[in-house]
Amino acid sequence: MDERDNGLQNLEGRKGNNSWTMGPKDFIFKYIRFVPWLVICVGICSCLAYLKIRYSTSIFREQSTLLIKNDQDNVSKGNARFDELFMSDGVTNLSNEIQILRSRPIMERVASNLGLQTAYYGEGKVKTSLIYPYPPLKLELLSKPDSSDGLAFKVTVQDSHKFLLNESKTPEEFGHPFFVGNTRCRLLLDTSINLRAYGSDKFDVVWQPLPYAAENLIGSVRVIQANDQSTILTLTFEGENPTLGNEVLNMMMKVYDTIIVEDKKKIQENTLKFINTQLYLLSDTLAGVQGGLQDFMVQNQVFDVDDQSKDFIDGLKENSKMKNEQDVRLAVANWLLDYIGSKKNQFELVPTNLGIEEPSLAQLIAEYNRIQLEREINLKTATPENPMIVGLENSLDKTRRSIYQALLNIKQAYIIAEASTTKQQQELQNRVVTMPKKSMRLLNIQRRQKILEELYSLLLQKKLETQIASASTISNSRILEPAIGGGMQIGPDRKKIYTLYLLIGVLIPVGFVALREILQDKVNGRSDIEKHTDVPILGEVGHSDTKQTLVVTLNSRKLISEQFRIVRTNLQYMISRKEKPVIMVTSSFSGEGKSFISTNIGAVMALSGKKTVIMEFDIRKPKIVSGLDLKRKMGITNYIIGRASFNDLLVKVEGVENLYVIPCGPIPPNPAEILLDKKLDELMNEVFANFEVVIMDTAPVGLVSDATNLGRFADCTLYIVRQGHTFRKQLGFIQDIYTSKKLPGLCLLINDVKPEGGYYGGYYGSRYGYYGGYGYGMGSGYFEDDNKKGGKRGSGFWKSIRKKFFS
């Protein structure tokens, strides 16, 4: 491990042991310079909050409560469906009632009843206030072609008789018509009201159509349910006039009651109208049904279905019995005819009592049987040829023929009777068969009649109930607490306004500082560098207010001179074992103070007794010679091309012993190639032979490759980072160089460190006391005050602040 690595390790060890982090005190020192802006913004916002509260219109909240009753218990249990269809279901929906309370029809009635279409405002010095309920003026519209347009004008009262309209110079008289646009109106003055009670004699008169007046009220009214279980509604009104709020809420509840009663009466009127219409229609229908029933009963001979059906069945049974008897008699008559007509039975007796109840036939049969018996008796004593027997036989034959004829007649009568019975039976059977059908038709007619009669009775009952309810209609709401005044003032909210404005007063400067920090893309101190790179930091150099490049002189005790002396001390860790160290100075781009650092590093090394030379290797843009006000002589480029010797190059710096400068010479067209010439090695050998310390001021490594080419001669590289000038993204480039070891002994030097509110924030300020924090800084006697000729460094407010925070 060589000497350069040892020095680098030592410096990194110091960096690790003293890495800077911002603590609470550092934070205060850094941002304390913004405290005045914070105080000013908070003060201004506090004044604005006071003015807003002072001149804002006061807003009051008035409140009342309304009970919404439920009519469900009043619904008829037997006819609930009827009431639901034609009256109401008795159940109150609070959401609907809330919307009804805030609906436009109710608000239009409220605005109309309270006369809120016309508003009167009194103009004050700052604000305009609503005058209610006793305005000194009264507007009357005599004619208005378009009632949908609003009307507004200003009135300046001159006396009890005259006033000025808007900007007109011609006075108008109270009580006399005048025109505002196309509207003809009249203005009256209430002389009982003292106009001096108002802020001025100027008033604003505004007339608006009823819908707009209602819309304004809707925006000021809130209706909420007291809780989920109750039917109590809380009504609130927020406005600048508490009297107006009281009257609006009370009128709202009154109008709501009126509308509810009107709605109920309207429902009842419509219900009565419907009932009367239905009764009239039912009366005609019922009469038609009754007439149809009567016609059906007459035409179908149906009067009592049950009795008639029983009679028909009984008749059918009796008829069947008669028919059976007639059939038996007819069969007996046929048998007797066959018996009488048969020759084998001509001398046999004829049976009697066979069910044929015919007197003449019975006599004939009795006579016939007598003659038969008489013949049989006579045959016992006489022969068949006996004239008496022959006479009896003739009588039998005659009687037989008479019986036979009688039986024929009886048979015919039986046949006729049987046909009549059969016909009667058929008729009865037909009646019995058609009776169910007639019964069903009759039942349908009777059922329809019954329905119509019941409906007619129901409508008559409901008509009477509706008439009674109409005569005693009441609202389903009740005012629990009317608005009585003394409402709570809710605006302007002092606490909220002061809090908001104070928050704004704090956020404006804080936001500005935060935005400034966010948009800051340049290095802002040691902490930024340590966040983005591991390169060791050699030291920090403060801001120089002088225009001279050389600030380190023999007797200088300024702070910046001491900072360069600290850098010289830290350099010993990098070049501790080098007898003739070569220090290369470079940066990312132009303007970072590379030449300023090179000059003063050379001066502080020369003041230590070492013969030092500053080589102006920034051939493209040399500044060392011009910064020291030296006369330019032969330079490095002259030596390389062989037109100058080594002694021709040296320029002595007056005022600093042992300090010399080797200029760059004329700017060549090919600077990069010039620095690769072998003559440069010869020049460096002569420099090493004649000087103890060599400072190489090179071109920015972020722009050209000169520093990389010259790195072979250097023992240590000072990379300049300027606060507020070097971009933060360049730190990544520096980290790449450090990681890849493109430059020897790389370390950083922070240039142009400016104090922020008495705060340096740098390593060599806060760690070694070179600021006003611990009694070792400016004003302590250790350093010369740069501003002593221009007055004291701090006084008044800032002096007291520093003493308070730094003591």
Q: What's the Cα-to-Cα distance from 544 to each of 83, 538, 754, rounded to whole Å?
A: 99, 19, 9
**Integer Cα distance of 116 and 105 in angstroms:** 14
Q: How far apart are CA 624 and CA 595, in angstroms?
A: 6
The rounded distance, in Å, linking the Cα atoms of 341 and 202 is: 148
Report whether 139 contacts 116 (CB < 8 A): no
Find out whether 494 and 50 touch, Cβ atoms under 8 Å. Answer: no
pLDDT class for 505, splitting at 50, 70, 90?
A: very high
Mean pLDDT value of segment 558-566: 87
Helix (H, G, I), strand (E, B) or coil at 675: coil
SS3 (DSSP) at 495? helix
CATH of domain 3-16+519-771: 3.40.50.300
pLDDT at 204 over 90: yes
Distance in angstroms between the alpha carbons of the first and the last residue of the chain: 47
pLDDT above 50 (res 493): yes
**Locus of tokens 């850098």:** 567
pLDDT classification of 306: cutoffs 50, 70, 90: low
Give the pLDDT band (50/70/90) at residue 120.
Answer: very high
Which parts of 380-493 fold into alpha helices (H)?
387-471
As a whole number of angstroms, the distance between CA 731 and CA 751 comes to 15
pTM: 0.56
Average pLDDT over residues 728-734: 88
- In this prediction, residue 442 has a pLDDT band, given cuts at 50, 70 and 90, of low
Cis check for the bond before 492: say yes or no (omega within 30 of 0).
yes
Secondary structure of residue 397 in the 3-state scheme: helix
* pLDDT at residue 374, as a whole number: 79
Q: Where does 27-150 show beta strands of DSSP type E?
A: 59-68, 118-123, 128-131, 137-143
Identify the weakest region by mean pLDDT among 77-81, 173-177, 578-582, 650-654: 77-81
Query: Which residues fall within 8 angstroms of residue 336, CB to CB, at 6 or more apart?
Result: 350, 351, 354, 356, 403, 407
Alpha-carbon gap, residue 563 to 603, rounded angstroms:
13
- Residue 7: DSSP 8-state: H
Tokens of 620: 């493209």
pLDDT over 90 for what percent of the chain? 29
- What contacts 179, CB < 8 A, 6 or more positions away? 185
Confidence of residue 367 (pLDDT cuts 50, 70, 90): confident
Burial 554-588 (b: 16+ CB within 10 A, else e): eebebbbbbbbbbbbebbebbbeebebbbbbbbbb
SS (H, E, C) 658-673: CEEEECCCCCCCCHHH
Average pLDDT over residues 333-339: 78
Distance CA 253, CA 235 (A): 9
For residues 565 and 532, the answer to whether their CB atoms sit within 8 Å is no
* pLDDT the model gives residue 773: 35
Q: What share of the chain is helix, strand, coil (3-state, %, to 5)?
A: 50, 15, 30
The tokens 């002593």 sit on which residue? 788
3-state secondary structure of 701: coil
Residue 537 contacts residue 8 (beta carbons within 8 Å): no
Single out the residue of 85, 65, 486, 467 nearest to residue 256, CA to CA.
65
- More reliable by pLDDT, 418 or 60: 60
pLDDT for residue 288: 81
| DSSP per position, 366-396 | HHHHHHHHHHHHHHTTS-TTSHHHHHHHHHH
pLDDT at 769: 36
Give the separation between CA 585 and CA 600, rounded to whole angstroms: 12
759-782 pLDDT per residue, tens = 444 433 433 333 333 334 444 455
Q: Which residues contact 279 (CB under 8 A, 6 or more apart)?
A: 456, 459, 460, 463
Q: For residue 774, what pLDDT is reported?
A: 34
Give the least confident one: 436-445, 528-537, 679-688.
436-445
Look-up of token digits 């310079």: 33
Q: Among 757, 787, 781, which Cα is nearest to 769's? A: 781
**The predicted structure's pLDDT at residue 387:** 84
Which letter does DSSP use for residue 547 in this model?
A: S
Say if residues 617 and 699 touch (Cβ distance below 8 Å): yes
Taking the C-alpha atoms of residue 756 and residue 567, their distance in angstroms, rounded to an integer, is: 22
Buried b (16+ CB within 10 A) or exposed e, 493-512: eeeebbeebeebbeebbeee
Confidence of residue 801 (pLDDT cuts 50, 70, 90): very low
Nearest alpha carbon to residue 744 among 716, 721, 719, 702: 716
